[in-house]
Amino acid sequence: MEIRKTRLSDLDRVMEIYADGRAIMRETGNEMQWGDVHPPRSLVEADIAEERSYVCEKDGEIAAVFYLSTDPDPTYAKIQGAWCDNAPYGVVHRIARSKSPNAKGAGAYCLQWCYEKIGNIRIDTHEANVPMRKLLESLGYVYCGIIWINIHGKPEERLAYHKT
pLDDT digit of tens for each residue in the chain (164 aa)? 999 999 999 999 999 999 999 999 899 988 878 878 889 999 999 999 999 999 999 999 999 999 999 999 999 999 999 999 999 999 999 999 999 988 999 999 999 999 999 999 999 999 999 999 999 999 999 999 999 998 777 889 999 999 99
What's at 99, amino acid-wise?
K
Helix (H) or strand (E) holding 161: strand 154-163
Listed in sequence order, the residues at least 6 apart from 83 whose beta carbon sits closer than 8 Å to its beta carbon are: 76, 122, 144, 160, 162
CATH of the domain at 125: 3.40.630.30
Give 69-102 as a DSSP string: E-SPPGGGSS-EE--S--S--EEEEEEEE-SSGG
Count: domains in the chain: 1
Tell me the residue range of the domain where 77 lies: 2-163
Global pTM value = 0.94
